[in-house]
DNA sequence: GTCTATAGAAGGATAGAC
DNA sequence: GTCTATCCTTCTATAGAC
């Protein structure tokens, strides 16, 4: 593959990424992707046979990149509270730069649930739970974190960080009526969510 | 307006609601709406001039119905904990019946933020904050709930209840690997979220 | 590998008969 | 009010020249 080929393919891929995230699969137009890439429609089909295949390529890469960012959560040198904070920080930083991305993924995954399975298929997940249990076994016992409550806690943490960006237009509209500023709210989000979550977990102790 | 007219218009509206929620504005097809309503495309345009206007009608009604369901949260006979539980219960019951609805709304609102403002425009919102402050002034003081932390708490509560349904395909795929069942998880969600949230709030006391 | 031109299908919208 | 037939635009995809 020559340098020029790679350049073109990459330009197409980047343009497609932008347009798909902005408009979704159904709303995206091959013409717009071609325009943004500075080439014509025919060339899109030369590199990627169809809109569907182009979308799949974009979606797979994006989803895998998102997953990769959170491996450091399993860093053993962090306390449980630090892990929680680290996760919130990573998510928030990421979504401040790509605010439309979470909704895009939720959307397309909902329309085609098979996509998630394809992405997760090649991930080493079997040990993640064990790693957490080994690193924080005593805390898990003290706070009654088990195979029943851990899913509740983890989805709550994901929810707390992702939802504000997914529901941004609604939150902004409501905040406007009460004189609250969305950006200031986000600036405080990591601190608040970390304390809120960790306090909730700690108070499970009896 | 005759009974038959109303019947047809309603059949169209209901079919459109189903299709729009399932496919979104971009993915929906007038032909499919006509088929499901048992009429032809021309009649769609007779009642609603365009796809856009049909969509607007559907979206406005749905959004207003959703908002209406939560007025009882401001019932003065409930304690703060009961209010939180009531909200989680309402949301969860609602989304168990219409699981695709929250993502639909988030999606379309994100693509056209003006829609939220149109829906909120006719709502009496100015007093909601005052009502809450009057009913729970002492708890607000004790737990340091103010105009800065209340938005954090309320978005957290919304997140905890809505996110599991919005991210259902992802959560299900991950749960599957760990042998967790989504429906059982949801059955426990109201209890867990209520305790989690209320504990987090209480632990703000110093 | 990249372009122009166009095929072919689908979708929204309308005209006109009943 | 409801239908059939059709217009017109838009979109994906391909053929063929360079």
Tell me which nucleotides of strand D come within 7 A of a protein CB: 1-6, 10-16
Asked if residue B178 lies in contact with residue A178, where contact means CB atoms within 8 angstroms, the answer is: no
Question: A18-47 pLDDT, tens per residue?
Answer: 999 999 999 999 999 999 999 999 999 999
Specify the pLDDT at position A74: 85
Q: Which residue carries 């943490």 as its tokens?
A: A157
pTM as predicted: 0.95
Specify the pLDDT at position A3: 59
Does the C-beta of B41 come within 7 A of strand C? yes
Specify the pLDDT at position A1: 52
- Say yes or no to pLDDT of B34 above 80: yes
Question: A112-169 pLDDT, tens per residue?
Answer: 999 999 999 877 777 788 888 899 999 999 999 999 999 999 999 999 999 999 999 9
Contacting residues for B15 by C-beta, under 8 A, at least 6 apart: B33, B34, B36, B37
Q: How far is CA A173 from CA A90, A108, A116, B29, in A?
A: 26, 25, 32, 30
Specify the pLDDT at position B163: 98
Specify the pLDDT at position A170: 97
Higher pLDDT, A156 or B130: A156
pLDDT band at B5 (very low <50, low <70, confident <90, very high): low
Backbone angles phi, psi at B161, to 5 degrees: -90, -40
Those of residues 53-112 in A touching chain B at CB distance below 8 A are 100, 103, 106-107, 109-111
Those of residues 155-184 in A touching chain B at CB distance below 8 A are 155-156, 158-160, 162-164, 166-175, 177-180
Name every chain B residue with its beta carbon within 8 A of the beta carbon of A116: 169-170, 173
**Residue B146 corresponds to which tokens in the numbers above?**
């103010």
Specify the pLDDT at position A2: 58
CB contact under 8 A, B116 and A178: no
CB contact under 8 A, B163 and A168: no
Question: What is the pLDDT averaged over residues B71-98?
Answer: 93
Strand (E) positions, chain A?
A: none
**Whose CA is closest to B151, among A81, A132, A187, A24?**
A187
Query: In this structure, what DSSP letter does residue A70 have?
Result: T
**Residue A97 corresponds to which tokens in the numbers above?**
């730069």
Please state at what angle helix B3-27 crosses helix A3-27, rounded to 10 degrees. 160
Higher pLDDT, A4 or B98: B98
Question: A76-118 pLDDT, tens per residue?
Answer: 889 999 999 999 999 999 999 999 999 999 999 999 999 999 9
Half-sphere CA count of A54, side-chain side, radius 13 A:
31
- Say yes or no to pLDDT of B125 above 80: no
pLDDT-wise least confident of A19-23, B64-68, B84-88: B64-68
Query: In this structure, what DSSP letter does residue A171 have?
Result: H
Question: What is the pLDDT averaged over residues A59-69?
Answer: 92
Does the C-beta of B181 come within 7 A of strand C? no
Higher pLDDT, A5 or B33: B33
Higher pLDDT, A191 or A74: A191
Specify the pLDDT at position B74: 84
Question: What is the pLDDT averaged over residues B57-72?
Answer: 90
CA distance B72 to A103: 30
Query: In this structure, what DSSP letter does residue A69 have?
Result: T
Please state at what angle helix B101-111 crosses helix A168-178, rounded to 10 degrees. 70
**H runs (alpha helix) in chain B:** 3-27, 30-37, 41-47, 51-68, 80-97, 101-111, 114-121, 128-135, 137-142, 149-166, 168-178, 182-187, 189-202
């Amino acid at each position: 593959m020559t340098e020029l080929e790679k350049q073109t393919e990459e330009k197409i891929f980047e343009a497609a990424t932008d347009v798909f995230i902005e408009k979704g699969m159904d709303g995206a137009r091959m013409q717009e992707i071609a325009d943004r890439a500075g080439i014509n429609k025919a060339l899109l089909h030369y590199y990627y046979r169809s809109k569907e295949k182009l979308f799949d390529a974009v979606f797979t890469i994006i989803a895998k990149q998102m997953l990769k960012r959170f491996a450091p959560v399993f860093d053993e040198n962090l306390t449980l509270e630090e892990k929680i904070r680290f996760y919130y920080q990573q998510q928030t930083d990421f979504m401040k730069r790509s605010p439309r991305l979470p909704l895009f993924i939720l959307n397309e995954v909902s329309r085609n649930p098979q996509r998630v399975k394809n992405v997760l298929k090649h991930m080493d997940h079997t040990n993640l739970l064990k790693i957490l249990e080994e690193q924080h076994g005593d805390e898990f016992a003290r706070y009654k974190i088990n195979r029943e409550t851990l899913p509740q806690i983890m989805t709550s943490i994901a929810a707390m960080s992702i939802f504000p960006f997914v529901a941004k237009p609604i939150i902004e509209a409501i905040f406007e009526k009460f004189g609250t500023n969305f950006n200031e709210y986000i600036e405080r989000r990591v601190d608040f969510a970390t304390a809120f979550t960790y306090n909730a977990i700690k108070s499970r102790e009896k």
